[in-house]
Amino acid sequence: MSPPKTFHVKSFGCQMNVYDGERMAELMAAQGLTQADAVDADVVVLNTCHIRERATEKVYSDIGRLRKDQRKKSGKTPMIAVAGCVAQAEGEEIFTRAKVDIVVGPQAYHNLPDLVAKAAAGTPSLDTDMPLLSKFGALPARRKVAPSAFLTVQEGCDKFCTYCVVPYTRGAEISRPFAAIVDEAKALVDAGAREITLLGQNVNAWSENANTPEGRGLHDLIRDLDRIPGLARIRYTTSHPNDMTQGLIDAHRDIESLMPFLHLPVQAGSDRVLKAMNRSHTRDSYLRLLDRVREVRPDIALSGDFIVGFPGETDAEFEDTLSLVDAVGYAQAYSFKYSPRPGTPAASIVEQVPESVMDERLQRLQAALNRDQHAFNAATVGRTCTVLLERTGKLPGQLIGKSPWLQSVHLLGNHAIGDLVEVTLAAAGPNSLTGIERIAEAA
């Protein structure tokens, strides 16, 4: 194989994978490779997700399709790198069965240039190490980025919820150093970001020198980022209820650039199920926590994740999830059918819930969540707020961006992507709102 000249990175799964995908693209670009479509690229990185069912099968079929498409188009055989969480969990098997050129885990992708060079020289390799020294120091500088950018500050998970693969695929909780994060945030702003979303599997577990007098938590970091000129908005995700400190709650009152949005997964509404999930919070402690957040920031938009059909979940326990949803009134949420993941404790519980029951529960839950999302959007009509423009819409002159509450807002106007526009929210649909620019309104 001759050294590749073009690359393509395809990311699946969570926002952290999107961030990792961007960093891998930057690594390739720093080696002089240029970006191309999957069907043309000399090296294709599949940045995979292992969170729910059929993840591994999907990787095999993606590899097959990629090879077929390139063969048909140009007779070429691409170099294929499987990265991300499936690489970490099932890498050895994919390496031998699909004969890919590279398997690289989420903590080892800074080695990608070396692995590509080796593969080009005829030696395929697998690197799923979780080195002590973090990969971040070995990554190149940030290039041009979108107005809303991601920044990983914390990675890994020590919580071991009984259904979840993340502690195995991402490793133990680590926090990136304060100074490195501030430097990267400044570089992102220089590269065009107006909003930064701080990422972590448990982002609010971020800390530095914990348990010492100089110890700092996520709110201290946000306070420093707030001082970066040109950075208009800060968000963070995903938080764990047990790491929601008073300092972070207060930050929602005190720091204007911290957006009024909190994604705080609860997963289920029954204490028995929560215990079996090893969530280490209760229904009540979660609800009380949200009360404290709403006390300091009454307009905060709440978001959550839910799993229906955890092994052994009864009808009555599922009703507890519905009543929790009613009690909270989420602005938006994600809900999933439970999926047994290889190697996790819940996968070996005998009483798995039948698929048809899970389907029905998911439908009912999603109907309730959609109802609440629509109600939240409708309740914001009439408010004035800023919208950060992220892309153009389908109609001529239409622009689409996000409100502080992470709603999609479309508007007509003469603006550039990246502009922050003052609008009045004029009408609400289930998934987006119409904004009217305030200057246009006054004219």
Residues at the site binding ligand SF4, with contacts judged by CB under 6 A: 157, 159-161, 164, 166-167, 201-202, 240
Q: Which two tokens stand for residue 273?
A: 């199920």
Q: Which stretch binds ligand F3S (CB under 6 A): 142-150, 161-169, 270-278, 402-410?
A: 161-169
Query: Which secondary-structure segment (H or E) carries 43?
Result: strand 43-48
Q: Is 19 in the site for ligand SAH (CB under 6 A)?
A: no
CB of 51 to ligand SF4, least distance (A): 8
Backbone phi and psi for residue 175, each to the nearest 5 degrees, phi listed first: -110, 135
The listed partner (ligand F3S, ligand SF4, ligand SAH, none) that binds 307, CB under 5 to 8 Å by sort, is ligand SAH
Rule CB under 6 A: say whether 17 interacts with ligand F3S. Answer: yes
Q: What residue type is 186 in one-letter code? A: K
Q: Which is nearest to 290 in space by CA: 320, 319, 311, 269? A: 269
Binding piece for ligand F3S, criterion CB under 6 A, among 62-70, 164-172, 189-197, 314-322: 164-172
Nearer to ligand F3S, 165 or 353 (CB): 165
Paired tokens of 434: 């119409």
Binds 16: which of ligand F3S, ligand SF4, ligand SAH, none (CB < 5-8 Å by kind): ligand F3S
**Which residue is it, tokens 């969540």?**
369
Q: How many Å apart are CA 76 and CA 9, to the nearest integer?
A: 18
> Cβ closer to ligand SF4: 11 or 380?
11
Each residue 294-313 as x (binds ligand SAH by CB under 6 A) or -, in order, gives -----------x-x------
Q: How far apart are the first and last CA of the chain?
A: 63
Structure tokens at 425: 């929210």
Contacts of 152 (CB under 8 A, 6+ apart): 16, 19, 20, 136, 176, 198, 199, 200
The answer to whether 207 contacts ligand F3S (rule: CB under 6 A) is no
CA distance 339 to 317: 18
Residue at 44: amino acid letter: V
Q: Would you count residue 265 as binding ligand SAH (CB under 6 A)?
A: yes
Residue 160 binds what, of ligand SAH, ligand F3S, ligand SF4, none (CB under 5 to 8 Å, by partner type)? ligand SF4
Closest contact distance (angstroms) between CB of 317 and ligand F3S is 25
The least CB distance from residue 425 to ligand SAH, in Å, is 29
Amino acid letter for position 159 = K
